[in-house]
């Protein structure tokens, strides 16, 4: 059996995380259908990791070995399982509360982490009684999803590279990359269970040393408009192209001394210094992205559909934002005003060239601006 599993192991990962199949698990007490692992683990990761821009600068690793999981963490994980089941419509609704059998939760924890949950847990909002967990029904909270972009297999163990997406009523946004270490487990619904998760710090993992614009608006009494402004994490500065018209075909290029592994970009499209400046100037709403390995992407708008498969896609406000709050920062802009361009896979490159293909005109200036770019 071990030899056979070794041969099919790479295909197990692909089938479970890309095709997102759901299968029935034979638990010790009952059979329970559980949702795809990318939905459950996304909810669990959201419990353990901050999802704000500042949090992404800090590396973090979480172990899911039984000895490392505290009671508080386990309670959060059970609540994450409950939320996932609620979204999937796999709960019983009674008097405004969602109910799930204890055996279903036990099956989920066993399949996810490879160990048995031997006693129930509870919290302020989640109760346990008579073999069932219950929580109040609630809609509207953003739904996280993991999007697989690669894997590295080493014997019975693999590291899955996944992008965590925040999906809500205001659109879909990337929250960067998570690396899941998993190990083969025939008793799991997924054929493997998760040992740990890791998020690496952006600044230590991705280092581009130079920026160049194909053209630049001459400096004025308000400041300069060099391409380097796209990497200073300051929305009060911007790269502004310097040709006649709206700058379609103009580009900004980030260059690295050594190959960098990237999975997507966050872009603040426009001049974020103030709402007045934002509305007066033009901004890109469609891009072409080129890399040193020859890859060329022209990602389409996701249309608020959760990305499936590995096609490149732009998530975020795009041409829907017509104004911004004054005093906006990268941290405060992260939830709504920054576009996420997900490549759908890992690309190793020494440069990223972003070319303007389409523009939303400002009401006063034809100058097209990009305040910030952040690869992830």
Ranges of the chain whose pLDDT falls below 70: 1-32, 139-141, 170, 302-306, 308-309, 318-319
- Reduce the secondary structure of 214-272 to three states and give it as a string: CCCCCCECCECCCHHHHHCCCCCCCEECCCCCCCCCCEEEEEEEEEEEEEEEEEEEECC
> Which of 177, 202, 227 marks a domain boundary?
202
Q: What pLDDT, on a 0 to 100 scale, did the predictor assign at position 141?
A: 65
* Same domain? 141 vs 235: no
> From its phi and psi, is residue 155 left (phi > 0), alpha (psi between -120 and 50) or beta?
left
* Same domain? 243 vs 265: yes
* Same domain? 132 vs 89: yes
Q: What are the tokens at 3? A: 């030899």
* Same domain? 198 vs 211: no
> Which of 202, 235, 252 marks a domain boundary?
202
Residue 18, C-beta contacts closer than 8 angstroms, at least 6 positions apart: 148, 309, 310
Q: What pLDDT, on a 0 to 100 scale, did the predictor assign at position 304?
A: 61
* Same domain? 7 vs 156: yes
Q: What are the tokens at 298? A: 């022209």
- What range defines the domain where residue 216 resides? 206-375
* Same domain? 194 vs 217: no
* Same domain? 136 vs 237: no
* Same domain? 291 vs 337: yes
Q: What are the tokens at 368? A: 């097209």
Q: What pLDDT, on a 0 to 100 scale, did the predictor assign at position 73?
A: 96
* Same domain? 239 vs 336: yes
Neighbours of 23 (CB within 10 A): 13
* Same domain? 148 vs 9: yes
> Which of 152, 170, 202 marks a domain boundary?
202
Q: What are the tokens at 223? A: 């400041």
Supply the angle between the helices 102-113 and 37-48 in degrees, to the nearest 10.
80
| pLDDT tens column, 149-193 | 888 999 999 999 999 988 877 678 888 999 999 999 999 999 999
* Same domain? 274 vs 178: no
* Same domain? 292 vs 223: yes
pTM: 0.85
Asked whether the beta carbons of 235 and 268 are under 8 A apart, the reply is yes
| pLDDT tens column, 280-329 | 999 999 999 999 999 999 988 766 666 766 788 888 776 678 899 999 99
Instruction: Please report, for the domain that includes residue 371, its CATH number.
Output: 2.60.120.260
Cα three-residue angle 190-193-195, rounded to 5 degrees: 160
Total domains in the chain come to 2
């Amino acid at each position: 059996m071990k030899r056979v599993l070794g041969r099919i192991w790479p295909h197990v990962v692909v089938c479970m995380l890309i095709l997102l199949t759901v299968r029935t698990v034979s638990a010790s007490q009952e059979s329970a259908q559980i949702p795809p692992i990318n939905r459950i683990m996304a909810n669990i990761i959201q419990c353990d990791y901050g999802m704000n821009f500042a949090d992404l600068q800090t590396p973090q690793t979480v172990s899911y070995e039984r000895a490392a999981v505290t009671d508080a963490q386990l309670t959060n994980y059970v609540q994450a399982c409950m939320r996932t089941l609620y979204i999937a419509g796999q709960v019983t609704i009674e008097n405004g509360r969602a109910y799930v059998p204890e055996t279903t939760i036990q099956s989920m924890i066993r399949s996810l982490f490879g160990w048995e949950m031997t006693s129930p847990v509870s919290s302020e909002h989640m109760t346990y009684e008579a073999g069932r967990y219950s929580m109040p029904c609630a809609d509207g909270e953003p739904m996280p999803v993991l999007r697989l972009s690669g894997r590295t297999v080493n014997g019975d163990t693999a590291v899955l590279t996944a992008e965590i997406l925040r999906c809500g009523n205001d659109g879909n946004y990337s929250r960067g990359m998570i690396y899941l270490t998993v190990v083969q487990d025939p008793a799991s619904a997924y054929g493997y269970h998760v040992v740990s998760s890791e998020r690496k710090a952006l600044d230590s993992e991705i280092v581009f040393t130079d920026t160049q614009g194909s053209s630049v608006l001459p400096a004025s009494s308000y400041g300069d408009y060099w391409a380097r402004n796209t990497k200073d994490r300051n929305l009060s500065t911007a790269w502004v192209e310097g040709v006649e018209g709206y700058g379609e075909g103009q580009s900004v290029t980030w260059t690295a001394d050594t190959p960098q592994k990237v999975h997507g970009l966050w872009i603040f499209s426009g001049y974020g210094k103030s709402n007045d400046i934002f509305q007066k100037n033009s901004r890109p709403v469609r891009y072409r992205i080129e890399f040193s390995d020859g890859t060329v992407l022209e990602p389409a708008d996701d249309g608020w559909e959760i990305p499936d498969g590995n096609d490149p896609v732009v998530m975020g406000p795009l041409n829907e934002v017509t104004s911004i709050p004054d005093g906006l920062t990268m941290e405060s802009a992260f939830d709504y005003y920054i576009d996420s361009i997900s490549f759908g896979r890992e690309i190793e490159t020494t440069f990223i060239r972003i070319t303007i293909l389409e523009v939303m005109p400002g009401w006063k200036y034809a100058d097209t601006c990009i305040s910030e770019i952040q690869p992830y």
